[in-house]
Amino acid sequence: MGKAGEKVEKARPGVVIDTSVLIPALLSSKGYAFGVINLLFEEKIMNYYSTATREEYYNVIAYPKIRKKIPLSTAKERVDVVILYSERVPIKRSFKKSKTLLEKVRDPKDIPFLDVVYNSKAEFLITYDRKHLLRIRDKNKRFKLGRHEFYILTPKEFIELHKKGKDLAGEGGNEKAGV
C-alpha cells in the first residue's frame, strides 16, 4: 500500500520476445515459449516491439513450413493479440550500421530486436536463437549494448527466474534487473 491506502502497482519487467519464441508459442499451448506469452497475457511482463520486429513476426508466420502447421489466418490472429498486449517503441538509436555488433551477432535480422531492447531499456531479451543471440551473452547471461545492459535468456531460464519470485523489474535507479 502506498500513501493514504492507495494501491501501489508493481512495475512489470520489460522484455523483448524474439520470433524464435513467438512461433513455438503460436503452435502449442504447452512449453516454456507459451509460458512466456501467458505471462504477457496475465500482464506480469511488458513486451516491447518496433515496426521492424512486428514485420518480422508477420513475415515469419507466412513461411511455408509454418503455414503447414497452422493456418495463416489463425497465426495472424494470434500475433495480433500478442501485439495488442505489447507496446511499440520508436527506434531513436539503431545499431543496424554497427559493424562491431554485426560481427558479434552475425545475423542482420537480429539487430532490430537488439534495437528494441536498447530503445525500450528492456531488462530481458527472450530467445531460442543459440546460433546468434544466446552466444553473445556473457557468463552471467548479460550483454551490454551502448550504455544499456540486459539479460539474454531462453524461455526456460526466464520462466524459472520468474517462478523463483525474483524481482524481475529491479529496484530503483538505473539498475533494471534484480537478478
Instruction: Report yes or no on 172 lying in a domain.
Output: no
Q: Residue 102 is part of which domain span?
A: 11-163
Q: Read off φ and ψ for residue 47, nearest 5 degrees.
A: -90, 140
Q: Decide if 157 is inside a domain.
A: yes
CATH number (domain holding residue 142)? 3.40.50.1010
Tell me the pairing of strands 148-153 and 142-145: antiparallel
What is the tally of structural domains in the chain? Answer: 1
Q: What is the pLDDT of residue 165?
A: 72
Residue 178 lies in a domain: no
**Which whole number is the average pLDDT over 61-88?**
97
Would 3 be classed as within a structural domain?
no
Residue 139: φ, ψ to 5°:
-65, -20
Res. 166 pLDDT band, cuts 50 70 90: low
Mean pLDDT, residues 3-22 taken together: 79
Enumerate the H helices of 108-178 as residue ranges: 111-120, 155-163
Cα–Cα distance measured from residue 89 to residue 94, given in angstroms and rounded to the nearest whole number: 12
Angstrom CA distances, 70 to 20, 46, 59, 127, 142, stand at 16, 26, 14, 21, 34
pLDDT of residue 1: 45
- Is residue 95 situated within a structural domain? yes
Has residue 5 been placed in a domain? no
Task: Give the model's pLDDT for residue 121.
Answer: 98
Domain contains 81: yes
Q: Indicate whether 1 belongs to any domain.
A: no
